[in-house]
């Protein structure tokens, strides 16, 4: 009988104990993989949203807190805090193309949706929108709405349907082609109309800008700050701030999964210790017929390593399934406070699979070290004389 | 031995059901309704943090957006607060409680405000606010 047959036979000798020990490491690994997978998908989602912002600079009021900054990437409604004058002064700087955003909320079929006030023509060019159905705004003060593609699909809205916003009816005149960004999830109206119906006055939420020479970013930022008192962030800085905050949330979640793994490791150590006491006589016989202590050590270490391998593989599968189930729930829960709007989706990542399985094996082998050493140190007389 | 797979299946199902059931998944955030509150009709479940009580009528309290409070770590910053009048019986929630209030818009002696007939306290976040930012 080779060593691998011996190891697998030993493991399956007490099937109940084998299943429960395996369950411990499997659940720990599943939690670890699910959190790792969701964390990386959240990061990817944010990077994608930042890319789709397709702007070099984001201009916000100086008093905005981190939540507001994050909301730009995640597509949440934001307070109207910048005076319209700011927009005009920034637009007058040579080399900068800027568009204002005024983000509010309303409800369709009792579900919250975003309403964005825009400069119709400038925004269409800036965002490179294409019209899937209908005719786009003909005037800057047209009292009608254009829908993002997801809004039209999710609420089954068609051209000519009427949306009531702040008690006023607005006909749907066009639907945008899908963009894959947050643009798909908003209802668009001309800026002046949103300012009027929401009784906001001459204010906007924030401005995004594109510069003609990205190697000169600092000088553009300096030029903006020179003419208006605002906070100017490059798209990369914004993303980096958000990812840093997300990183600390991820680290906390992984720590929780780590605790589950450590308790699973103690479970393996406990199982291996029990196995040694049960198999003392067998160890003694092996030693008596010439088995080396290194061979005994190897057998027990392989047994605990096998727990890690099996637990790792099953845990990866369960973890990915759990992340698929959990993704939509997390998108609506307190865990994703920082992620509101950016829906995490489960994602299969080979590096996570390899890391998780290796990590599982290492943890199991480490937890099996002490029991294996104990088994290897038993002398034949000690082992056989055990009753 | 045949009982183990059955136990295993039951265990996994219990974990999944416990993990998937989220009674509060459909709660609206304060931020969702602040711009156009009356666009939401019928019975609503609104989630938020209690910031203060009306001095002359402790049935009335203000709710602030949970996500905003947790990121900004302040109950008193200058942001929108949703006034709620609680007309159900029993205990009332406390300041810094994260609650789901269930009710609807109603014309009361204070004008049209959100009238909650029941509430569920999820947790109290005062300690989180007092601990301050960890970044």
The DSSP result for A241-284, as a single string, is HHHHHHHHHHHHHHHHHHHHHHHHHHHHHHHHHHHHHHTHHHHH
| Predicted confidence (pLDDT) at residue A138 exceeds the cutoff of 60 | yes
Cα distance from B58 to chain A (closest Cα, Å)? 28
Position A51 pLDDT exceeds 90: no
CA distance A105 to chain B (A): 5
Greater model confidence, A275 or A175: A175
pLDDT at A387: 56
Write the ipTM. Answer: 0.75
- pLDDT the model gives residue A345: 56
Report whether A342 contacts A49 (CB < 8 A): yes
Provide CATH code, domain B24-131: 2.40.50.140
Distance from CA of A125 to the nearest CA of B (A): 28
Tell me if chain A has a CB within 8 Å of the CB of B128: no
Taking an 8 Å cut-off on Cβ atoms, the answer to whether B39 and A325 are in contact is no
How does DSSP assign chain B, residue by residue?
A: -THHHHHHHHHHHHHHHHHH--TTTTPEEHHHHSSSGGGS-SSEEEEEEEEEEETTEEEEEEEE-HHHHHHHT-SSSS---EEEEE-SSS----TTEEEEEEEEEEEETTEEEEEEEEEEEEEE-HHHHHH----
| Chain A residue at shortest CA distance from B67 | A337
- Distances in Å between the Cα of A188 and the Cα atoms of A72, A317, A331, A353 are 16, 42, 24, 42
Q: In this predicted structure, what is the pLDDT of residue B9?
A: 46
Range from A37-41, A126-130, A226-230, A282-286 carrying the lowest mean pLDDT: A37-41
Report domain extents, chain A.
3-44+246-384, 62-229
Low-confidence residues in chain B, pLDDT < 70: 1-25, 78, 132-135
Which of the four pLDDT bands, split at 50, 70 and 90, describes residue A202?
A: very high
The residue ranking higher by pLDDT, A56 or B134, is: A56
Which of B41, B69, B71 is the best mutation test for A, with the most CBs of A within 10 A?
B71
pLDDT digits (tens, 9 = 90+) for A247-306: 766 777 778 778 878 888 888 888 888 888 888 888 888 888 888 888 888 888 898 898
Q: Where are the domains of chain B?
A: 24-131
Task: Output phi, psi for B27, to 5 deg.
Answer: -70, 140
Name every chain A residue with its beta carbon within 8 A of the beta carbon of B25.
329, 332-333
Burial of B27 (0-12, 13-18, 19+ CB in 10 A): buried
pLDDT of amino acid A341? 44
Query: By mean pLDDT, which of A48-52, A142-146, A150-154 is the weakest?
Result: A48-52
Tell me: pLDDT of A316 over 60.
yes
* pLDDT tens-digit map of B53-87: 998 888 999 999 988 888 777 887 767 889 999 99
Nearest by CB to residue B36, choosing from A65, A166, A338, is A166
Beta-bridge mates of residue A103: A116
CB distance A105–B38 less than 8 Å? Answer: no
Between these two residues, A148 and B10, which has the higher pLDDT value? A148
pLDDT value, residue A180: 81
**B40 in contact with A at a CB cutoff of 8 Å?**
yes
Q: The whole model's pTM is what? A: 0.66
* pLDDT for the residue numbered B22: 47
Please report the number of interchain residue pairs, chain A to chain B, with beta-carbon separation below 8 angstroms. Answer: 87
Best of B39, B64, B81, B133 to disrupt the A interface (most A CBs within 10 Å) is: B39
* pLDDT (0 to 100) of residue A375: 86
> How many Å lie between the alpha carbon of A217 and the closest alpha carbon of chain B?
27
Complete DSSP assignment for A82-148: EEHHHHHHHHTSTTEEEEEEEEEEEEETTEEEEEEEE-HHHHHHHTT--EEEE---SSTT---EEE-
Q: What is the pLDDT of residue B8?
A: 47
Least confident of A55-69, A75-89, A205-219, A320-334: A320-334
Structure confidence at residue A49 (pLDDT)? 67
User: What residues in A contact B44, CB-CB < 8 Å?
Assistant: 110
Q: Which residues of A touch B12 (CB under 8 A)?
A: 318
CB atoms within 10 A of CB A256: 11
pLDDT of the residue at B68? 81
Looking at the complex, report in whole angstroms how far the Cα of residue A108 sits from the nearest Cα belonging to chain B. 8
Indicate the residue of A77, A112, A326 with minimum beta-carbon distance to B19: A326
* Contact call for A65 and B28, based on CB within 8 A: no
């Amino acid at each position: 009988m080779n060593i691998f047959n011996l190891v697998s036979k030993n493991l399956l000798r007490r099937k109940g104990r084998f299943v429960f020990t395996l369950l411990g490491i499997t659940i720990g690994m599943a939690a670890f993989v699910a959190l790792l997978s969701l964390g990386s998908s959240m990061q990817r989602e944010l990077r994608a949203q930042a890319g789709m912002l397709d702007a070099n600079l984001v201009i916000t009021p100086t008093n905005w807190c981190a939540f507001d900054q994050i909301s730009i990437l995640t597509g949440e409604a934001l307070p109207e805090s910048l005076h319209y004058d700011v927009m005009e002064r920034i637009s007058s700087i040579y080399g900068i193309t800027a568009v204002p955003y005024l983000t509010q909320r309303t409800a369709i079929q009792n579900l919250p949706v975003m309403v964005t006030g825009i400069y119709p023509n400038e925004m269409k060019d800036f965002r490179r929108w294409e019209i899937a159905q209908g005719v786009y705004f003909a005037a800057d003060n047209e009292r009608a709405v254009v829908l993002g593609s997801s809004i039209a699909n999710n609420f089954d809205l068609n051209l000519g349907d009427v949306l009531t916003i702040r008690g006023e009816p607005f006909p749907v005149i066009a639907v945008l082609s899908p963009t894959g960004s947050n643009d798909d999830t908003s209802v668009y109206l001309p800026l002046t109309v949103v300012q009027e119906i929401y009784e906001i006055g001459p204010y906007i939420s924030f401005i995004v800008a594109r510069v003609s020479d990205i190697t000169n970013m600092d000088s553009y930022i300096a030029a903006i700050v020179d003419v208006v008192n605002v906070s100017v962030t490059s798209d990369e800085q914004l993303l980096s701030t958000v990812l840093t905050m997300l990183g600390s949330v991820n680290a906390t979640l992984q720590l929780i999964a780590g605790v589950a793994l450590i308790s699973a490791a103690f479970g393996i150590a406990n199982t291996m210790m029990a196995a040694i006491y049960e198999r003392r006589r067998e160890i003694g016989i092996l030693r008596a017929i010439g088995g080396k202590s290194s061979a005994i050590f190897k057998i027990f270490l392989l047994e605990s390593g096998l727990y890690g391998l099996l637990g790792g593989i099953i845990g990866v599968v369960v973890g990915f399934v759990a992340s698929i189930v959990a993704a939509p729930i997390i998108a609506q829960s307190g865990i994703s406070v920082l992620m509101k709007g950016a829906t995490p989706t489960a994602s299969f990542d080979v590096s996570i699979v390899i890391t998780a399985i290796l990590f599982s094996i290492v943890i199991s082998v480490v937890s099996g070290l002490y029991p294996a050493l104990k088994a290897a140190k038993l002398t034949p007389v000690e082992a056989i004389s055990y009753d | 031995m045949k009982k183990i797979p059955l136990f295993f299946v039951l265990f996994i199902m219990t974990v999944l059901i416990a993990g998937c059931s989220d009674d509060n998944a459909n709660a609206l955030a304060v931020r969702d309704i602040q711009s156009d509150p009356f666009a939401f009709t019928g019975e609503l479940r609104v989630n938020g943090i209690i910031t203060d009580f009306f001095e002359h009528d402790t049935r009335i309290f203000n709710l602030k957006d949970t996500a905003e409070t947790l990121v900004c770590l302040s109950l008193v910053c200058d942001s929108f607060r949703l006034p709620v009048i609680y007309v159900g019986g029993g205990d009332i929630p406390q300041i810094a409680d994260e609650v789901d209030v269930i009710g609807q818009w109603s014309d009361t002696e204070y004008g049209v405000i959100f009238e909650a007939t029941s509430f569920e306290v999820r947790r109290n976040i005062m300690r989180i606010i007092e601990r301050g930012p960890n970044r």
